[in-house]
Structure 1
Amino acid sequence: MICIDKQSNDPWFNLAADEFVLKNLAVDVFMLWQNTECIVFGKHQLPLQEFDLQLVERENIPVIRRISGGGTVYHGPGNVNFSFVTTESADKINFGKYLLPIQLYLRSLGMNAEVVSKSNLVIHGLKISGNAASVHRNRSLHHGTLLFETDKSRLDFVLQKPKQAYHTKAVISNRVETTNISKYLTRALSFEKFCNGLQTYVNQYFGISGIRLFTAAEIGEISKLSNEKFKSREWNFGYSPDYSIEREVLLSGEKINISLLIKQGRIDSVILSNEHLSDNEILKGALIGIPHDRHSVSNSLIQVQNRLTCDDIEFNSLINNIL
């Protein structure tokens, strides 16, 4: 096993680097890395049901889909992430194997971290680490987070569940109470020293002798993957499992039920409870085929607003209710 220093806190680059190493390198690799503030969600999740997208956008927080399964996590100051990419002949997903050195390092600092629900690390029943995995041929990626001194109020604020309901088979995060590792230290330890100690411990555990950087060519490939995939709407929203929504809206003073089916991030069908409503075909024409996001829905409906039999209040409510 070798260690690679990503030398980046760019979340898109760092998630792309995990995929690049998984699919393009043959050697076993350990990486310890940090991201600027972002929300990272699982490959098979629907982001709209994991957090309040309007709130997150107002806070200017990036939201990024990763290639591994599992639930939604918060990355930011005081949080460190680790990745193990290995070649496996069998038992390709084995969280315990790669969480063990993390547990032993924490034990050396005077705390007993336990593995629960196959892939979470907890101290006194409170979660300090969430982990996920991905397999590509005979290669496995195990990566996870460690909450050292994360602002928990910030974490809870940005991961607020949305009020709207979505009907989908997407994986739903299992929200549990979290805590910080720093609370359980028996002696003072800075975040930097904690990370350096973890790096040294894992290196010794796996017999890693030295750290290398990505080459210029590798950085170029990772950056391309970051820009073309991890920053794309198609990956972050279009890859979502199919979902549907049912909302009650007010049109011309009449309460109408409207149902949308969304496939690959785009509105596939629109059904209104009053099929004789004059607005019915106008709404279908404006909505079917467009991305199901605020920018696209707003722009499309504004183009037909003067043809709809609703006032400005009803119009704005319509936009808010079908997102």
Structure 2
Amino acid sequence: MAQAMLKKIATSSACLVVGLTRRSSARTLAIASKNVNSKKEGVLPAEGEITKSVFMSQSNDIYTNLALEDWMYRNMDFTNHHVMMVWRNDPCVVIGRHQNPWLEANVPLVNEMQIALARRNSGGGTVYHDRGNLNITFFTPRERYDRKYNLEIITRALFRGFGVKAVINERQDIIVRDNYKVSGTAAKLGRLTGYHHCTLLVNANKADLSKALAKRETIATASTRSPVANLSEVNSRVTVDSLQTAVGYEYLRTPALHLEDGGQAHISQQRGFQFVNPTDEWFPGLAELKNELQTWDWNYGRTPVFTVSRAFPVPAQLLAPSEIYSATQELIINMTVEHGLISDVTLNIPPGLIESGFHGEASVITHLKGKRFTSEALNALQDAMLTRHLNTEVRKLDDKEQFVAKCFDQVCCELYCTIIKAVLLNPNCLCTYNTAVERIRGMKMEKQKIVFKVSLHNYLQ
């Protein structure tokens, strides 16, 4: 029965799909869109005065699709015209507006795998996208925003088209088989307009998902991890194309303000499926939005302030002989990152190391402060600490200075590689960046505590 219904859905909705030309698209958007400044608060239309469209993005680029979403949010008037946009992306990690990419993703591995990292404008947690995901955005006036309604559209489509029983949990995730998450959800609400978006796992690469998203716990806005499943594991007939058709069809047949099956009669009164080409020709100013979403300042520089503290036992041979101090002395490093830049570095040097002749604190701090929290910081540290200029001479560091340099190198390495609850490094290991990457990937070693203090002051606006 479900298969017969799916065929009916595909046949019916195929008649609704309209490949827009530039001229007809411009005409459609001219009718549907208004400058954001012209939107007015007033009496909302009755249900019968509201029409619906399903927009299908022709781009698979995460920055382009996020820009399209933002363009529609800023410029379209949804008072009489509700829109559901469906879109797919090439592999990428998408973090929430207030999240820390170094806490949410394995940044070096993401870069190595050429997986894009993007910060969206809505809140919520971190998600992984690839061509095996279907992403959906529901646009309405703020007063008509109804997340439960949107999620019910999806669960109804799953059951009507595929016989898949899905439920909406208390966190408003879509769950199958009692505990497996197939959809995460987030939203953005403005004064006049709101949107709710979600991603549906259909046939996503779960191995890449697991690698790209690191697991950790902090007091930042970190994602809550749940066991996930692909919908294709529940029903092998579910594909991204068939699901897009089923959800779009369910959206169009459902009245705008209440969950009721309006059938073909209601569909015939809607604007149907429309391909949209997210370019400046169709959406003037979209390229500028996309460029902003691609910048390092947006994706990394908007990260909340966080601090890491780390203590290193100083080898006895580097300490000055003394009967006063304890045999075990520690070098303590505190590093604060603000807007993606290293804003503060403090070094607590044990007395035994000072008395043995270490005087390199100023050099370390000077060369790290203000650097981007990337390999740029590591390079600056190496330049500062591996050699030091005295007049015109270049002198290699002594054993004590090399020890401090390696401690800083390890702190930067651990932060840049994972910033996770348990870093898989030996507590006494003073490895370089590249070595740390290899050890994190290939070895299980004693867990090491890293303390994070995250401040969101002046950020959650």
State TM-score, norm by structure 1: 0.88
Residue 221 of structure 2 corresponds to residue 171 of structure 1: yes
Deviation at 1:223, TM superposition (A): 2.1
- Counterpart among 267, 271, 280 of residue 346 in structure 2: 271
Contact 2:60–2:89 (Cα < 8 Å) also in 1: yes
Deviations 1:168-202 (A, max 9, x none): x42111000001112222x7344322322222222
Contact 1:247–1:258 (Cα < 8 Å) also in 2: yes
Other-structure match for 2:234: 184
Other-structure match for 1:61: 115
Residue 176 of structure 1 aligns to a residue whose secondary structure is: coil
Residue 194 of structure 1 aligns to a residue whose secondary structure is: helix
Cα distance change on mapping 1:199 and 1:223 into 2, 3 Å? same
Residue 285 of structure 2 aligns to a residue whose secondary structure is: helix
- Counterpart among 74, 85, 93 of residue 128 in structure 2: 74
Range with greater deviation from structure 2 (141-150 or 55-64): 55-64
Q: Which amino acid in structure 2 is aligned with residue 188 of structure 1?
A: R
Other-structure match for 1:84: 138
Residue 32 of structure 1 aligns to a residue whose secondary structure is: strand
Deviation at 1:314, TM superposition (A): 6.0
Other-structure match for 2:245: 196
Contact 2:334–2:346 (Cα < 8 Å) also in 1: yes
Contact 1:258–1:272 (Cα < 8 Å) also in 2: yes
Residue 98 of structure 2 corresponds to residue 17 of structure 1: no
- Structure 1: give runs of 5+ residues left out of the alignment: none
Could you tell me how far apart the structure 1 residues matched to 2:280 and 2:286 are?
Answer: 10
Other-structure match for 1:110: 163
State TM-score, norm by structure 2: 0.63
- Counterpart among 101, 114, 118 of residue 153 in structure 2: 101
Deviation at 1:151, TM superposition (A): 2.2
Could you tell me how far apart the structure 2 residues matched to 1:292 and 1:190 are?
Answer: 40
Could you tell me how far apart the structure 1 residues matched to 2:300 and 2:314 are?
Answer: 29
Could you tell me how far apart the structure 1 residues matched to 2:247 and 2:114 are?
Answer: 31
Contact 1:3–1:30 (Cα < 8 Å) also in 2: yes
Other-structure match for 1:147: 201
Deviation at 1:41, TM superposition (A): 0.9
Q: Which amino acid in structure 2 is aligned with residue 297 of structure 1?
A: A
Could you tell me how far apart the structure 2 residues matched to 1:222 and 1:47 are?
Answer: 25
- Say what the alpha-carbon RMSD is for the aligned residues: 2.5
Cα distance change on mapping 1:190 and 1:317 into 2, 3 Å? closer
Contact 1:247–1:322 (Cα < 8 Å) also in 2: no
- Structure 2: give runs of 5+ residues left out of the alignment: 1-51, 256-266, 320-329, 389-396, 417-461
Could you tell me how far apart the structure 2 residues matched to 1:226 and 1:314 are?
Answer: 39
Residue 296 of structure 2 corresponds to residue 233 of structure 1: yes
Contact 1:114–1:121 (Cα < 8 Å) also in 2: yes
Range with greater deviation from structure 2 (191-200 or 258-267): 191-200
Contact 2:132–2:201 (Cα < 8 Å) also in 1: yes
Cα distance change on mapping 1:66 and 1:216 into 2, 3 Å? closer
Deviation at 1:205, TM superposition (A): 2.3
Aligned-pair identity (%): 26
Contact 1:250–1:314 (Cα < 8 Å) also in 2: no
